[in-house]
Amino acid sequence: MSAVNDTQFSSTVFLLTGIPGMEDVNFWISVPFCIMYIISLVGNSVILFIIKTDPSLHDPMYIFLFLLAVTDLGLSISTTPTVLGIYLFNFRVISFDACFTQLFFIHSFQSIESAVLLLMAFDRVIAIRDPLRYASILTLPKIAKMGLVCVLRGMTVMLPLTILLRRYQYCRDNVLSHSYCLHQDVMKMACSDISFNLIYGLFTKLLTMGLDLLLIFFSYVIILKTVVNIASQTECLRALNTCVSHFCAVLLFYTPGISLSVIYRFGKGSSPLLHILLSYLSLLVPPLMNPIVYSVKCKHLRVRLIRLLFK
């Protein structure tokens, strides 16, 4: 009878997990998550407001930053509510439909952010290598088309994986390892043959985020080669300084994500706590830090932010 009940229960819901062994201090753990969530929402919303309302910031670089802020907002809103639900209210149950919806949006926004970071690298290459043709190459219609391709790519890649996961049979305890639904985590709960998801998931990861990272690397190689040929050291440093914010955003986004993927595939005996911390870093830190980094490093944005605050 117990087995039957467990099967019925696991066929309708998943159970999310916080930090194991620290259930007694869940409320105190929720405090930094609440602060991070508020800063992410406010910081990205302020950047969107400033760029939208200030015509002098309607340059390609700031339009790409606008796209990045929209993506960070989507990633933060898709992820953090279930995290806070666990630590504030001990609400661990999530229905199948809600879980697959969250999974779809989390991975879609990750893919979109990866593509936006690639576009921002492309923007820096043109600005440094061919500044006289910068405005004519990156026109608003071209930027709009590139942004649309980023969104369509992210959602198109994740749709088949999500549909297949929805069709699988789940007959285990369905206790997930994280505070939100991730593809690799939900996939392990299935009792069906998941070979297609394993192969297709790895293939799409390499073809999207892996390829994006490789192209970003080549973009910085081109930038460095161009900067080295600049005679003036002052101009050289000025050109590199325009890339600092983007380079920080790339490190914040890719480093924990790559580390988590490597541990999932090769670190079978690694600590579950390490998995959880890396997943938090990969999903919660970029939306938190990107508006801070760009507000500090971008002079025009910083000036308008200060003006807005003092108003």
Average pLDDT over residues 5-29: 74
Segment among 152-161, 184-193, 213-222 with least mean pLDDT: 184-193
Please give the tally of structural domains in the chain: 1
CATH assignment of the domain containing 170: 1.20.1070.10
Segment among 74-78, 141-145, 181-185, 233-237 with least mean pLDDT: 233-237
Report pLDDT digits (tens) over 207-232. Answer: 899 999 999 999 999 998 888 887 67
Range of the domain at 106: 2-310
Q: Report whether pLDDT(253) > 70.
A: yes
Predicted pLDDT at 212: 94
Predicted pLDDT at 228: 82
Per-residue pLDDT band for 308 (boundaries 50, 70, 90) equals confident
CA distances from 217 to 134, 137, 223, 293 (A): 21, 21, 10, 20
Average pLDDT over residues 88-105: 91
With a pLDDT cut of 90, the percent of the chain lying above it is 45
